[in-house]
Structure 1
Amino acid sequence: MDNTLSHEQLVQIQAHIHAHQHVPGGLMPLLHAIQDDIGYVPESIYPDISKALALSVAEVHGVVTFYHHFRTHPVGKHILQICRAESCQAMGSEKLESEVKARLGVDYHQTTADGSLTVLPVYCLGNCACSPAVMLDDEVYGRMTAEKVSELIGEVCHG
């Protein structure tokens, strides 16, 4: 996928930086706002963030890379997260993830060829009683099988 920012995205990012530059502890809300708007936090904007918040580029990079929630590259229109926590693994998530990745032809952190879906690992969705769990966009689903995941994906990507 293309990692070039559009003029509109740059304007959105600068507006978020301006809105958060004088907020104490504003880095996390700023990063969330940027990712919510454009889907990821581009490394190319770290210098702008660091200057506005009086942080080093290394500090910005450290926060983005420390939290698994933040992404540094564009993602697909939809995001499928497969839980890899112990409860889900005990209930078959490893088999689920290998079947889903094989069906989609992607690995973790990759996007389908049509740009419709990115697959990401997640390390607990808080749905342990219904393992294995996945999250498609912002909705958590439990007791999943590869067939159920395929149905969900079909509903949002083709339905």
Structure 2
Amino acid sequence: MNIRAVVSDETTRLSAIIDACLGLEGPMLPILHQIQQEFGFIPEPAKQLIADALNLSRAEVHGVITFYHDFRDKPAGRHVLKLCRAEACQSMGGEPLAAKIQALLGVDWHCTTPDGALTLEPVYCLGLCAQAPAAMLDGEVHARLDEDALADILAEVRR
């Protein structure tokens, strides 16, 4: 398949998502969520297509994408680990756990391990303050984290 066919297919898929959401009230967020669900991230060409469809500037669309932490500009790893960075989790030992996992994985926030296994994301409250520190792996919450629980999470990712 040549590059023009790939670009054309991507544009067609993006346009279909945008068209399907245009009738919704406040369509930008539903459009972005649908695109991320379809592609796993927001491809760069989507910004201009959305801007044109909503009569906005590309910069306005980019601003919304970068404001919300759940939107990505590149594909995530096979697994996504979100560590809570809120005050309750930090006060219960979240900071040393965050440093430990970054060191073990060799990645910083918003980065993916070289093997593509895991993307590490900060999140600012999972609502488990009474069970801090907390994390979410692929949508499943883990509370009262310690080094043993962290090792279990990493073992799960490496399976």
Give the TM-score normalised by structure 2.
0.88
1:25-40 superposed matches below 5 A: 25-40=26-41
Q: C-alpha distance in 1, partners of 2:28/2:18?
A: 9
Give CA-to-partner distance per residue, 1:90-147, whole Å, 9 cap, x none: 0001100011111111111111111010001111111101100001011111001233
RMSD (CA atoms): 1.8
1:31-70 superposed matches below 5 A: 31-70=32-71
Q: Secondary structure at the match of 1:73?
A: coil
1:2-151 superposed matches below 5 A: 9-151=10-152
Contact 1:79 1:117 in 2 (8 A): yes
Contact 1:104 1:112 in 2 (8 A): yes
Q: C-alpha distance in 1, partners of 2:106/2:8?
A: 32
TM-superposed deviation, 1:55: 1.7
Read off the aligned partner of 1:40 and give its amino acid letter: F
Give CA-to-partner distance per residue, 1:16-63, whole Å, 9 cap, x none: 112112323110011111112222112332110111122221211111
Change (3 A) 1:47 1:157: same
Q: C-alpha distance in 2, partners of 1:8/1:90?
A: 48
Q: Secondary structure at the match of 2:90?
A: helix
The answer to which structure has the higher helix fraction is 2
Q: C-alpha distance in 1, partners of 2:129/2:25?
A: 35
Is 34-43 or 9-18 further displaced after alignment? 9-18
Give the TM-score normalised by structure 1.
0.88
Is 47-56 or 81-90 further displaced after alignment? 47-56
Is 95-104 or 29-38 further displaced after alignment? 29-38
Contact 1:131 1:144 in 2 (8 A): yes
Kindly name which structure, 1 or 2, has the bigger radius of gyration based on alpha carbons.
2
Identity among equivalent positions (%) equals 47
Contact 1:110 1:118 in 2 (8 A): yes
Q: How many residues align?
A: 154
Query: Which runs of 5 or more structure 1 residues have no equivalent in the other structure?
Result: none
Read off the aligned partner of 1:151 and give its amino acid letter: D
